[in-house]
Amino acid sequence: MLLRILKLLTGRDTGDMCSDADTNEDGKIGTEEVIRILKEISK
């Protein structure tokens, strides 16, 4: 998931992105989602 979001942020095609990835519900996948994932995996 993290890799797909990072690819999306750099403009690479990621195929279909799961809507569950949009954690702040703004309709976009962005840095907020990356930060959330990094916090989760750092626990």
Whether 41 is in a domain gets the answer: yes
What's the pTM?
0.57
Query: Looking at residue 6, what is its pLDDT?
Result: 77
Whether 19 is in a domain gets the answer: no
pLDDT digit string, tens, across residues 10-42: 776 656 666 777 888 888 778 888 888 888 888
Tell me the C-alpha distance between 2 and 26, whole Å: 18
15: Cα separation from own chain's centroid: 13
What is the tally of structural domains in the chain? 1
4 pLDDT more than 70: yes
Query: Looking at residue 43, what is its pLDDT?
Result: 83
Query: Looking at residue 14, what is its pLDDT?
Result: 59
User: How would you class 7 by CB atoms within 10 Å of its CB: exposed for 0-12, middle for 13-18, buried for 19 or more?
Assistant: middle
DSSP character string of the chain? -HHHHHHHHTT----SPPGGG-TT-SSS--HHHHHHHHHHHT-
Whether 30 is in a domain gets the answer: yes
